């Protein structure tokens, strides 16, 4: 991300990975002019300066060269959390130039997102006992999930409903178009996975069971509202997600 802060500060980077790694998921500051002596940059000596990250994270800044510094957290950054990096005026370079004004930049760590589903989009093999499985990119909070999931049945009419051609994925509408009925959900539970030939709880998978048998040859939409939260951090998913099947 390019920005200007006097004649000194050139760039600020945040490397955003789906797996939080202390050596990777951290901000880097890159200056146009050297701030560190060569011997300090070669040794990656800790940086002592007034740059702050809010909310506060335990860790340290280290040199990546004479013009760049990286924050190394003591532990992986918490997921689903917004942070602000503040670079104050007056940071001095080796040649005694200084940054001329304050600068701040915000970033977010990984929000929840649906990666895959069972059944898949527009799968036509659903029956009375079909359960919907949503596979996420991180461990999910069950309480939040129960308030964020809705199952709709498309009612049969003489004219085709526009719900039958709604695209899968994220969007801004919380209710599918067309003539639909809210189908009550009986349970929302975690899935399971095999680990060392044993079944263990998979908190990255949500299993949704309807309170009534699903009908053959009927279109259904599973809606995941924006804001569904993971086990960690206050930030939920950024957009609605919809799955269509029959």
Q: Could you read off the pLDDT of 15-54 as tens digits, one per residue?
A: 433 333 333 467 777 777 777 665 555 455 666 778 889 9
User: pLDDT higher for 92 or 8?
Assistant: 92
Q: Could you read off the pLDDT of 178-224 as tens digits, one per residue?
A: 788 999 999 999 999 999 989 999 999 999 999 999 999 999 999 99
CB contact set of 133 (below 8 Å; sequence gap of 6+): 117, 118, 191, 205, 206, 207, 208
Structure confidence at residue 241 (pLDDT): 96
pTM (2 decimals)?
0.77
**Chain centroid to CA 85:** 19
CB contact set of 81 (below 8 Å; sequence gap of 6+): 55, 108, 109, 232, 233, 234, 235
Q: Are 112 and 80 in contact (CB under 8 A)?
A: yes
Structure confidence at residue 155 (pLDDT): 87
Q: Could you read off the pLDDT of 79-96 as tens digits, one per residue?
A: 898 888 888 888 777 777
Confidence of residue 67 (pLDDT cuts 50, 70, 90): confident
Confidence of residue 150 (pLDDT cuts 50, 70, 90): very high
SS (H, E, C) the chain: CEEEECCCEEEEEECCCCCCCCCCCCEEEEECCCCCCHHHHHHCCEECCCCEEECCCCEEEEECCCCEEEEEECCCCCCCCEEEEEECCCCECCCCCECCCCEEEEEECCCCCEEEEECCCCCCCCCCCCCEEEEECCCECHHHHHCCEEEEEECCCCCCCHHHHCCCEEECCCCCCCCEEEECEEEEEEEEEEECCEEEEEEEEEEEEECCCCCCCCCEEEEECCCCCECCCCCCCCCEEEEEEC
Q: What does pLDDT average to over the chain? A: 79
């Amino acid at each position: 991300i390019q920005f200007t802060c006097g004649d000194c500060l050139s760039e600020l980077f945040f490397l955003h990975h789906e797996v939080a790694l202390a050596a990777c998921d951290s901000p880097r500051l890159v200056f146009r002019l050297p701030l560190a002596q060569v011997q300090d940059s070669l040794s990656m000596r800790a940086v002592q300066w007034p740059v702050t990250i809010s909310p506060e994270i335990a860790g340290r800044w280290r040199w990546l060269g004479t013009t760049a510094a990286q924050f190394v957290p003591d532990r992986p950054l918490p997921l689903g959390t917004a942070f602000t990096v503040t670079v104050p005026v007056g940071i001095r370079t080796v040649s005694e130039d200084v940054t001329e004004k304050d600068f701040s930049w915000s970033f977010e760590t990984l929000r929840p997102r649906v990666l895959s589903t069972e059944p898949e989009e527009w799968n036509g093999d659903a029956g009375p006992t079909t359960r919907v499985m949503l596979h996420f990119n991180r461990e999910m909070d069950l309480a939040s999930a129960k308030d964020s999931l809705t199952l709709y049945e498309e009612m049969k009419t003489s004219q085709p409903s526009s719900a039958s051609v709604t695209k899968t994925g994220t969007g801004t509408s919380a209710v599918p178009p067309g003539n639909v009925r809210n189908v009550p959900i009986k349970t929302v539970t975690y899935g399971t996975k095999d680990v060392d030939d044993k079944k263990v709880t998979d908190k990255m998978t949500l299993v949704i069971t309807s309170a009534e048998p699903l009908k053959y040859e009927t279109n259904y939409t599973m809606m995941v509202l924006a804001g569904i939260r993971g086990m960690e951090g206050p930030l939920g998913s950024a957009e609605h997600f919809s799955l269509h099947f029959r």
